[in-house]
Structure 1
Amino acid sequence: MTFVSIGFFALCAAVLMVMSRRLELRHPDATVTELFDRLLDDPAVRIAVVVIWWWLGWHFLAGATL
């Protein structure tokens, strides 16, 4: 099960890297806030962020109560 978790996080990181390159976010003077603002302009990234937070909450917060 650990391999599934590590693979999921690696996949999420890869998707964010591809999205950042696609949106040309490698500006040397950009702040972290500007990068996140530009990333979250894309609806696909917004959906990915919601899914990631849901997955983390389900596995680490709700798991102990069930």
Structure 2
Amino acid sequence: MSTMTFPVWCDPDGQPVACVEKIKVMHENLEELRQMAQDALEDAILMGCDEHQVRAFMVGLMQGLENPYQA
């Protein structure tokens, strides 16, 4: 697995998230997501799908995620 470079995570007010455990969970979740996306991309290419179409779909998938905690 490649090592990802992460930003400093900030709260909605722009202040850095300081909790080490929260940051650890965030990084683990994103590493897992990256690996799943990589596997899906590789499978799609091996099955003959167009790489650019698959990537565009994945971008749309991420952009379509909803925040269930909005007030």
Where on the TM-score scale, by shorter chain, does this alignment land: which range? Answer: 0.3 to 0.5
TM-score scaled by length of structure 2: 0.42
Larger RCO, structure (CA 8 Å, separation 6 or more) = 1
TM-score scaled by length of structure 1: 0.44
Q: Pick the structure with greater CA Rg.
A: 2
